[in-house]
Amino acid sequence: MGRFLKAILVSIFLFQGSLAHSYSAVEYISSDSLGLEFQKERLLISMREYSELNPYLGSEDIAVRIDSTRAEILEALWQVLNQGPFPQEPLDDDLWHREIQVVKSNNGQLYCYTIDHKTGGSYKPASTILHHRRRDGVFAAHLLDDRMGQDVQETTINEVYTLDTLGTAFLLLGTLQTCNTCFVASAFTVSVDEEGFHFELVAQINDFNDETDQLFFDSKSSILHFAEIKKSEERPYEEKKSFYTFQFLGGAGYQVIR
C-alpha cells in the first residue's frame, strides 16, 4: 500500500501547475496553493499526527494511516519549500528533528529532508525532498523519484558534498536498510540549472553490513572510494573485494580510476 500511495503522490506532483519560483517546467507547485503560513500549519499538524503513529501497535488501519499522513507531510513540505524562506524559519524544533532528518551541503545551498516510512519491519525505506537555494535567492524543491532505481528513491541521505564553487553540483551518499544486517549504499550526483534537477547514479553497493568502510568521499581530493564485495558463484563461502575510485573534475563530471 505504501508504494502505491507514494506513486499516486508523485503523479499528483507531476500534474500540478507551476509557479515562478520553479527552475523549469518540470518543477511543479499547485496553482491553488493556500499560502505559506497555511502550509506550515498543515505540515505541523500532519507531523504531530505522524509522531503519534506507532507501526508496532498492530491495528488493522495503522499502515494506511501512516502512509496517508506521510503523503500529507510530503505534500505540505514540498509546498512550503517552493514558497518561503525555509529552513531559515524553523518549525517546532523538537518535533521537526524527531520526524525529519535534515542533511545539507557545506555551502548551505542544497538541503535534503528525509522522512522514514515507519514500516515497523527490518526493511526501512524513506522519502526525501531536495531543496536548492541559488545565491540570487531563487529556490526550488524536488521529490526524489525512481529515475535512478527504487533503492535510491527510498534511501536515507547521510552526506552531501559540494562539487563546484558555484553551488550547482553535489554528491549525495545514502543508505537503504533492507534487512536487520543488510544495506544498499548509493552515491549519486545532483546538478541544478535553469532546466531543473539532473541526477546520475555513480556507484552502488548491494547487500552489505558495513557501510562506513566501503563507500566514502574524500572532500580534499574530490575522490569517491568504492569497494565492492562479491561472492564467488563456484565457491559461495569465498568473497572477492574489488576497489575503485572516482575522481570528480570540479563539477558533476568524473573519471574512474582503478
Rounded CA separation 130/100 (Å): 13
pTM of the shown model: 0.81
Taking only the tens place, the pLDDT of each residue in 53-90 is 999 886 768 989 999 999 999 999 998 888 866 655 55
Residue 238's alpha-carbon distances to 182, 206, 229, 231, in angstroms, are 18, 17, 10, 6
Q: Which residue has the cell 503513529?
A: 53
Q: Which strand (E) or helix (H) includes residue 149?
A: none
Q: Within a 10 A sphere around the Cβ of 82, how many other Cβ atoms?
A: 25
Taking only the tens place, the pLDDT of each residue in 155-213 is 999 999 999 988 899 999 999 999 888 889 999 999 998 888 999 999 998 866 554 45
Lowest-confidence pick of 6-10, 62-66, 119-123, 125-129: 6-10
Q: Within a 10 A sphere around the Cβ of 200, how many other Cβ atoms?
A: 14
Give me the domain span that covers residue 110: 2-257
Q: Within a 10 A sphere around the Cβ of 199, how many other Cβ atoms?
A: 17
87 cis-preceded (ω within 30 degrees of 0): yes
Q: How many structural domains comprise the chain?
A: 1
